[in-house]
Amino acid sequence: MESDRLNQAEKIDEVGSEVASHEKNRDIAEKNTDKLAFPLNGNGNTDSVAEPAVFELKNLSVNFGRPILDKLTANVRGNCIGLLGPNGAGKTTLLNTLLGFNQPSSGRASIFGYDVSSQSDRVRHMVGYMPERDAFITGMTGIRFVRLMGELSGLSPSDALERAHEVFFYVGLGEARYRKIDSYSLGMKQLVKLAQAIVHGPKLLFLDEPTNGLDPPARTRMLQLIREIRDAGETKIIMASHLLKDVEECCDEALVLKQGKIAIYCNLEEERRSDRKFLLMHVRGDKDRFVSALRSLGCDVALTNRRRLKVILAQQIEIRDVYMAAEQLQVQIRSLDYKRDSLEDIFLRAMEDA
């Protein structure tokens, strides 16, 4: 045991931050590749699994004068998929491309095995879309608006009217359905956007920042509705958001984008189940060398600010090893706290690694 520790101490002295970071990147890349690379048959369906992927990206690039999405490859499954990333990462562009609003400059994208460019008609029969910005037809009552959207999705006038009433009651706006949308509050408008997106019972629901501008009770209500739709099992959900908490509460998979590339794709449930030892530390001293030392021990480290570190300990590493590394490098650990790994940590790591 003592000799092991000495070996580890030697490793710390030999630390090369570049090497450690390369190793870590490779590990993450391998982990992601395992998830992303599914063999495709002619229909875009996977051979290995009967149910087709919710969406597949094969070297998908989108350019608007400059590259917005850069050769994305992913095979995404799950009931509710969170699309995360900082502003300008390409979340909305990816949603728009999947909806067929953008034409890919190269590569392809498919939804449930149907190509979004060449089979857009079939794709649009299956999807519902709740845009980020306000999107209504002025002067219409809520019920008439949602009924129109139902009819445009292919429902007969009577079915569309019935469904419009149902979804209005479902989202909690039953009493306001005969009012003009212009008179609705922001929270009600968000709910109407959700109502029009689900009126035709889509197989796949795109939600672009669904809790934007909502107060806490309205946000809670919106997230509850999203979870209910997910749990009903008839509709898969893709939810783009920059609010990690929202994604964490609703989604079982997360695809993190950064600068038009996939930074990480992970199953949140697996991440939660992995139950990794997770430390939150405040340190003083040569932080960079300390981080390199921890990484050389096999720990994942995310820097949240100048002195705060989040460390996921490797299997064989104890807290004592962390203290030893700090002692050797004369770094003070001012505070140390156990915490459960959150989506925020996954996101921060992805932002650092990508």
Residues lying near other proteins in the complex (CB under 8 A) are found at 64-66, 96, 99, 101, 121, 124-125, 127-129, 131, 133-139, 144, 148-149, 151-156, 159, 163, 165-166, 169-170, 172, 174, 196, 198-203, 206, 225, 228-229, 232, 234-235
* CB distance 103 to 91 below 8 Å: no
| Cβ distance to other proteins smaller for residue 24 or 147 | 147
What is the smallest separation between the CB atom of 108 and other proteins, expressed in angstroms? Answer: 19
What is the smallest separation between the CB atom of 217 and other proteins, expressed in angstroms? Answer: 17
Give the span between the Cα atoms of 210 and 130, in whole angstroms: 7
What is the smallest separation between the CB atom of 290 and other proteins, expressed in angstroms? Answer: 44
| DSSP 8-class letter at 339 | -
| Cβ distance to other proteins smaller for residue 73 or 212 | 212
Q: What b/e sequence results for 60-93 when a residue is b if at least 16 CB atoms lie within 10 Å of its CB, and e otherwise?
A: bbbeeeeebbbebebbbbbbbbbbbbeeebbbbb
Sequence letter at residue 67 = P
* φ and ψ of 233, to 5 deg: 80, 0
Give the span between the Cα atoms of 281 and 191, in whole angstroms: 41
* φ and ψ of 270, to 5 deg: -65, -40
| Cβ distance to other proteins smaller for residue 130 or 297 | 130
- Radius of gyration over alpha carbons of the chain, in Å? 24
What is the smallest separation between the CB atom of 167 and other proteins, expressed in angstroms? Answer: 8
What is the smallest separation between the CB atom of 200 and other proteins, expressed in angstroms? Answer: 5
| Cβ distance to other proteins smaller for residue 162 or 252 | 162
| Cβ distance to other proteins smaller for residue 145 or 265 | 145
